[in-house]
Amino acid sequence: MELFVTFLAALFSVVNPFGAIPVFLALTPDYTPSERNQTALFTSIYFILLLLAFFFAGTYILGFFGLQVDAMRIAGGVVIVSSGFALLNGKFAESRAINKKVEEEAIAKEDISFSPLAMPLLSGPGSISLLISTYSDYPEWTDKGLIGLVIITTGIIIYFTLRISPLLFKILGVGGLKAISRIMGFIVMSIGIQYIILGIVNLVQNFYPLSAS
């Protein structure tokens, strides 16, 4: 249960569904409530499938490119820190590669649930690197299954967040959402720094016997 809660908090902070609310509403201005709800559903499904695929295929991806887990931790930590810094400065959309051109293309598309909503808005390099580096930390399949359940739970939270996004936007407003994003940004930066430190410490420990000999 401790692993579930801890990792849910970490993944939720990195994904930050609240930061996606303004973008989601901006991309669906002419949608009916049922169309918006359907888009939210498919977005959450794609999100779950994408992160589950990257999580369980993470070691094969590292092996294919000849990368070490600690290198992924450091690189992912840098990305997560950068994302957290963007949240602190109120630039959530920009940090997820959502610019005006992407918004214009998305509005013209019939289905925006996979791109740009599920990827890169919600599942990006930060969450993917977090999952890939976590895979090797828990060799037991019960723990892996629990983390898979966290991904599914996060997807469900995303669905309900997007489904009631007009209400949340009305209650919180732009200022409230930015305040939440800044809090999330601080947490996300802390997570990223922790992963960078962990990756560096592990690399030093791995190479120390070689340097000592």
Give the integer Cα–Cα distance in Å for 110 and 108: 7
What pLDDT was estimated at residue 76?
Answer: 87
In the numeric block, the tokens 């895979």 are attached to: 135
pLDDT string in tens for the chain (213-residue length): 888 999 999 999 999 999 889 889 988 988 999 999 999 999 999 999 999 999 998 778 888 888 888 888 898 899 899 888 888 887 777 766 667 777 777 777 888 999 889 998 899 888 988 898 888 888 889 999 999 999 999 999 999 999 999 999 999 988 888 888 888 889 999 999 998 999 899 888 877 665 444
Q: Locate 5 and state its tokens.
A: 């809660």
Contacts of 79 (CB under 8 A, 6+ apart): 125, 126, 129, 192
Alpha-carbon distance of 90 to 16, in angstroms, equals: 13
Q: pLDDT value at position 7? A: 93
Model pLDDT, residue 99: 72
**Euclidean distance between the first and final Cα of the chain, in Å?**
43
Question: How many other CB atoms are found less than 10 A from the CB of residue 117?
Answer: 28
| Segment 74-86, tens digit of pLDDT | 988 998 998 888 8
* pTM of this structure: 0.88
Tell me which residue has tokens 């930590």.
77
* Residue 28 DSSP one-character state: -
Tell me what pLDDT residue 96 has: 67
